[in-house]
């Protein structure tokens, strides 16, 4: 690790010329170097919390797999979640919108779990919560319980999980093999042999079906590359580098044709068979895709409708309530129609909401009797002893790998480089034609100033627009890789800057080589060299400004709006339109940070010094020095302008570093849920038992139900008849009507002491219309049906 003497750095800063803004820029530039070279190393794969059996030693290390990680064992992980609720406060009012409401479930190793539901049902929200990837917001409130192998959720779990997002993001100019190889080199530092890493990558390519496209460019919207299905499998391969126990996939079939979608789900199924716990969200799969799921979770309006095995069980479950799947109908389509709201008319909305409320309440009561019924065996936790532990990657190793990637991406980006080259040539020819072979007349003074101004503006805008159009997309990739612990920010940023120097310098040089002789600027080789140096440094500063803007805003569109707007301000204070001596006091700091101003000033000094102009009157400008005085550039040197540009360049790099550090993705923290009642019924004794977290207690002597706290209505049991009575609002049928409450109270049959079967929800094909003048109630106003499972 490179070390810096901070005291010596401070002395160097003070010794550099300039005061005020210039000295501040030098200071932050020095701070950037310190931060870049002294950043902490990442912990790629942290230790697993393994419970050791008696007699085993705890030495802090986990034994390495003897076989390659791609084919080795993974630590089996069972995930259970209970009462996951997520609400969003509306900005315009005090109302709250529920994204998820008391969702519980389980995912087991070796099984493929699919989260299904209509659009807006909460599929991706639940997936993000389980993966710990829900973006933080002060308007969000998240509560619930998640445990892994029976242990409480912790921040370390992110290192054991893999998240395949809906959008596949890669460096477009790299091949499939290069993408996987780089990921392996960054994360598998314990494999020092090149041959072993190549074998590992080959195993992944074979396992994910990417052998045929291994040497193909990944591509993007501009560059033709691999197909959408191959990109999705490449995303899976990159996530499998660290041999994760749990794999999350957010709608992996979106945007794919039927064949590619089935191939992707087959890959997920095979990963589940290999011992991974695989959870994916999906909208409405075709029948062949649905048959590959082992378990499903059905969500609608953020509520749980069903969770369990995926094949015949859900059809049998819903058939108990009169909802039978017709023959030769895709079960996934039947389930999707069953839990969706029909918005074609007010009647259809009313009855579909009523049906859904009944199904939600039915499964809520059914699932409360089986929640956490099967404890996790200790051997599942101890199975992780075969898993490997990764070492930390060094700063220099990360820098070299990232420098190689950045160079390949920049040098191979043919479409972008061709466009920039053509624009540089075209603009140079146009400007050279307009200012063709300027002479030494008095009018040539203004022409020279105008040419140098547009040269500075053109160079800066070309570099800025290229960077703001590319960097926000690259930033999304970097954020994901940093979240996995592949590398730190310092090596990435420094490698990117160094890799783009040769490419970034080529276009200003081409521009200057064409423009300079066409306009017949100061005919000197040294002056031409200084001209190219000034516009090249300005191009680097404009690119750095694009990086800063890209790190500041969340999207490419926003960057394209902010970047040129800031550049317009710099152009106004660039020294040509507003004289520095006439600038208002409150704006005088802007020329000091305007890269246009410093480039224009340097170009003017380089051009005008030593020139003699033709004079016809005594008040005419005779020398170039007099022209510089009119621009308030007298007494300045080219060296001063280059130093000022370098200060701005380093300041923008440092600002980019700070913004990227500050704008790291932040995720919503899971809060403990409120105490909820989990009830089970003892069929022998006909009394309710108390579980952990109960809000209610029971008097076993007289079978009375007491309510210590809360707003719920107290209910008592009649000991003689073993019937439930209602102390307030009791009627002959022992029911609450819809106006008096939200829940229907079931009575006990005193003869056989069993609960009667409640009325079934309305069937899909038995919907009666109501009067047109009847107001359609909202979903929260509809009395839900309480449906009991026959078991």
Residues 468, 331 within the same domain: no
Q: Half-sphere exposure of residue 76, counting CA atoms within 13 Å on the CB side?
A: 18
**Which residue range is the domain that position 617 belongs to?**
395-659
Same domain as 403, residue 276: no
Q: Is the pLDDT of residue 697 over 60?
A: no
**Is the distance from CB of 279 to CB of 246 less than 8 angstroms?**
yes
DSSP-assigned beta bridge partners for residue 163: 248
Q: Check whether 710 has a pLDDT greater than 60.
A: no
What pLDDT is attached to residue 35? 52
How far is the first Cα of the chain from the last one, in angstroms, to the nearest whole number? 66
- The set of residues, in sequence order, having a beta carbon less than 8 Å from that of 645 and lying 6+ positions away, is 534, 537, 538, 541, 595, 598, 599, 602
One domain, residues 318 and 417 = no
Mean pLDDT over residues 548-562, rounded? 91
How much is the average pLDDT of 283-302? 91
Find the mean pLDDT for residues 767-780: 40
Lowest-confidence segment of 135-144, 188-197, 346-355 by average pLDDT: 188-197
Residue 36 located in a structural domain: no
Q: Which residue has the tokens 């009627």?
A: 731
Distance CA 584, CA 581 (A): 9
Regarding whether 297 and 402 lie in a shared domain, the answer is no
Quick check: 215 pLDDT over 90?
A: yes
User: How would you classify the pairing of strands 246-250 and 277-282?
Assistant: parallel
Q: Find residue 705's DSSP bridge partners.
A: 698
Which single residue is written with the structure tokens 């008097």?
A: 699
Is residue 679 included in any domain, yes or no?
no
Residue 675 included in any domain: no
Beta strands in 597-747 (DSSP E): 697-699, 704-706, 716-718, 723-725
Angle at 89 between CA 87 and CA 95, to 5 degrees: 105
DSSP letters of 193-252? Answer: -HHHHHHHHHHHHHHTT-STTTTSB---SSS--S-HHHHHHHHHHHHGGG--SEEEEEST
Chain centre to alpha carbon of residue 131 = 12
End residue of a domain, out of 643, 659, 675: 659
* In a domain? residue 1: no
Q: Which long-range contacts (CB under 8 A, 24 or more apart) does 411-416 make?
A: 411/503, 412/173, 413/172, 413/173, 414/223, 415/222, 415/223, 416/222, 416/466, 416/470
| Domain co-membership, 335 together with 401 | no
Residue 371 falls within a domain, yes or no? no
Q: In terms of C-beta density within 10 A (0-12 exposed, 13-18 middle, 19 or more buried), how is residue 266 classed?
A: middle
Average pLDDT over residues 175-204: 89
Q: Are residues 325 and 403 in the same domain?
A: no
Residues 485, 569, single domain; the answer is yes
- Report the run of H or E that residue 153 belongs to, with start and end: none
Which residues, 6+ apart, have CB-to-CB distance to 329 below 8 Å?
Answer: none
User: Domain of 201: which CATH number?
Assistant: 3.40.50.300
Q: Is the pLDDT of residue 457 over 60?
A: yes
Within 10 angstroms of residue 750's Cβ, the number of other Cβ atoms is 11
Closest Cα partner for 237 from 156, 172, 148, 168? 168
DSSP at 488: -
Q: Give the chain's domain count.
A: 2
Stretch 378-395: mean pLDDT, rounded? 48
Q: Residue 770: pLDDT band by 50, 70, 90 thresholds?
A: very low
For the segment 427-441, the average pLDDT, to the nearest whole number, is 91
* Separation between Cα atoms, residue 563 and residue 460, nearest integer Å: 11
**pLDDT at residue 10 tops 60:** no
Distance of CA 86 to the CA centre of its chain: 19
pLDDT of amino acid 623: 87
Q: Which of 276, 311, 340 is the last residue of a domain?
A: 340
Query: Cα(24)–Cα(28) distance, rounded to whole angstroms?
Result: 6
d(CA 259, CA 268): 15
- The neighbour count for residue 66, using CB atoms within 10 Å, is 7
600 with 574: CB under 8 angstroms? yes
Question: Is 441 found in the same domain as 336?
Answer: no
Residue 398 has pLDDT above 60, yes or no: yes
Q: What is the pLDDT of residues 723-747, one digit of tens each?
A: 443 444 444 443 434 433 343 334 3
pLDDT of residue 686: 36
Instruction: Kindly tell me if the per-residue pLDDT of 128 is higher than 50.
Output: yes
> What per-residue confidence (pLDDT) applies to 6?
47
Nearest one of 366, 574, 371, 560 to 459, comparing CA atoms: 574
Contact 666, 135 (CB under 8 A): yes
Query: Mean pLDDT lowest for which of 180-184, 371-375, 446-450, 636-640?
Result: 371-375
Whole-number pLDDT of residue 540 = 95
Residue 541 CA to chain centroid, in angstroms? Answer: 29
- Burial class of 749 by CB neighbour count within 10 A (0 to 12, 13 to 18, 19+): exposed
Query: Whole-number mean pLDDT of the chain?
Result: 76
Could you read off the pLDDT of 20-66 as tens digits, one per residue? 544 544 455 545 544 544 444 433 333 333 333 344 344 333 333 33
Q: Give the Cα separation of 464 and 259 in Å (integer).
A: 42
Same domain, 95 and 237: yes
CA–CA distance, 660 with 559 (Å, rounded to integer): 15
Tell me whether residue 782 is in a domain.
no
Place 153 in a pLDDT band, splitting at 50, 70 and 90.
low
Which of 318, 340, 362 represents a domain boundary (last residue)?
340
Domain shared by 215 and 298, yes or no: yes
Is 331 found in the same domain as 187?
yes
762 inside domain:
no
Percent share of the chain, pLDDT over 70? 71
**19 has a pLDDT exceeding 80:** no
Predicted pLDDT of residue 438? 87
Q: How confident is the model at residue 255 (pLDDT cuts 50, 70, 90)?
A: confident
Tell me the pLDDT tens digit for each residue of 483-530: 888 899 999 999 999 999 999 999 999 999 999 999 999 888 999 999
Does 703 have pLDDT greater than 80? Answer: no
The verdict on residue 374 lying in a domain is no
* Cβ-based neighbours of 366, under 8 Å, separated by 6 or more: 787, 788, 789
Question: How many residues are present in the chain?
Answer: 791
Antiparallel, parallel or unpaired: β 79-89 and 161-164: unpaired
Indicate if 152 and 279 belong to the same structural domain.
Answer: yes
């Amino acid at each position: 690790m490179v070390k810096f003497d901070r005291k010596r750095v401070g002395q160097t800063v003070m010794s550099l010329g300039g005061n005020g803004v210039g000295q501040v820029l030098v200071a932050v530039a020095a701070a950037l170097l310190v931060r870049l070279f002294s950043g902490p190393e990442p912990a790629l794969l942290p230790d697993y919390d393994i419970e050791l059996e008696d007699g085993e030693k705890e030495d802090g290390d986990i034994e390495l797999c003897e076989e390659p990680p791609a084919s080795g064992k993974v630590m089996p992980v069972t995930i259970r979640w209970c009462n996951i609720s997520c609400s969003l406060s509306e900005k315009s009012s005090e109302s709250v919108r529920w994204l998820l409401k008391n969702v519980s479930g389980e995912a087991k190793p070796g099984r493929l779990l699919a989260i299904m539901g209509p659009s807006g049902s909460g599929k991706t929200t639940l997936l993000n919560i389980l993966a710990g990837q829900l973006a933080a917001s002060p308007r969000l409130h998240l509560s619930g319980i998640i445990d892994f192998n029976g242990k409480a959720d912790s921040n370390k779990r992110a290192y054991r999980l893999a998240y395949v997002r809906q959008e596949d993001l890669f460096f477009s100019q790299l091949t499939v093999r290069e993408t996987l190889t780089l990921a392996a080199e960054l994360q598998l530092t314990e494999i020092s042999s090149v041959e072993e890493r190549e074998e590992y990558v080959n195993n992944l390519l074979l396992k994910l079906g990417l052998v045929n496209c291994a040497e193909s460019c990944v591509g993007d919207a501009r560059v033709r590359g691999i197909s959408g299905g191959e990109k999705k499998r490449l995303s899976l391969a990159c996530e499998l580098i660290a041999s994760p126990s749990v794999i999350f996939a957010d709608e992996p079939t979106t945007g794919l044709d039927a064949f590619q979608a089935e191939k992707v789900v087959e890959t997920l199924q095979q990963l589940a068979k290999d011992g991974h716990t695989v959870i994916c969200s999906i909208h409405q799969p075709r029948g062949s895709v649905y048959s590959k799921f082992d378990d499903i979770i059905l969500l609608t309006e953020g509520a749980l409708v069903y969770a369990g095995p995926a094949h015949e069980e859900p059809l049998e479950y819903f058939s108990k309530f009169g909802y039978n799947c017709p023959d030769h109908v895709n079960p996934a389509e039947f389930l999707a129609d069953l839990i969706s709201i029909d918005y074609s008319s007010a009647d259809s909305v009313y009855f579909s909401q009523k049906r859904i409320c009944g199904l939600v309440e039915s499964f809520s009561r059914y699932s409360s009797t089986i929640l956490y019924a099967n404890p996790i065996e200790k051997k599942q936790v101890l199975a992780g002893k075969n898993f490997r532990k990764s070492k930390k990657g060094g700063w220099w190793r990360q820098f070299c790998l990232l420098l190689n990637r950045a160079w390949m991406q920049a040098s191979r980006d043919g479409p972008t480089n061709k466009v920039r080259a053509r624009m540089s040539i075209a603009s140079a020819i146009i400007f050279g034609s307009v200012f063709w072979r300027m002479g030494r007349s008095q009018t040539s003074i203004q022409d020279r100033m105008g040419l140098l101004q547009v040269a500075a503006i053109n160079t800066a805008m070309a570099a800025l627009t290229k960077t703001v159009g590319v960097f926000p997309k690259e930033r999304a990739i970097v954020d994901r890789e940093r979240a996995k612990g592949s590398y730190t920010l310092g090596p990435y940023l420094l490698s990117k800057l160094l890799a783009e120097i040769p490419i970034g310098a080529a276009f200003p040089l081409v521009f200057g080589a064409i423009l300079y002789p066409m306009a017949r600027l100061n005919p000197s080789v040294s002056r031409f060299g200084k001209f190219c140096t000034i516009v090249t440094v300005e191009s680097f500063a404009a690119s750095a400004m694009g990086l800063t803007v890209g790190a500041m805003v969340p999207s490419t569109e926003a960057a394209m709006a902010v970047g040129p707007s800031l550049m317009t301000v710099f152009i106004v204070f660039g020294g040509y339109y507003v004289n520095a001596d006439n600038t208002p006091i409150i704006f005088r700091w802007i020329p000091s940070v305007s890269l246009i101003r410093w480039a224009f000033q340097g170009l003017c000094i380089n051009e005008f010094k030593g020139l003699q102009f033709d004079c016809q009157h005594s008040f005419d400008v005779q020398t170039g020095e007099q022209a510089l005085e009119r621009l308030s550039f007298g007494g300045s040197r080219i060296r001063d302008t280059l130093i000022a540009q370098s200060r701005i360049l380093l300041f923008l790099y440092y600002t980019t570093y700070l913004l990227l550090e500050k704008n790291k993705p932040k995720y919503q923290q899971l809060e403990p849920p409120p105490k909820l009642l989990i009830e089970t019924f003892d069929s022998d004794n006909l009394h309710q038992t108390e579980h952990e977290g109960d809000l209610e207690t029971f008097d076993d002597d007289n079978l009375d139900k007491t309510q210590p706290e809360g707003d719920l209505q107290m209910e008592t049991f009649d000991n003689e008849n073993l019937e439930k009575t209602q102390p307030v609002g009791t009627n002959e049928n022992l029911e609450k009507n819809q106006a008096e409450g939200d829940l229907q109270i079931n009575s006990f049959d005193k003869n056989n002491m069993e609960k009667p079967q409640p009325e079934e929800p309305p069937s899909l094909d038995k919907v009666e219309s109501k009067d047109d003048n009847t107001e359609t109630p909202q979903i929260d106003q509809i009395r839900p049906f309480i449906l009991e499972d026959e078991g």
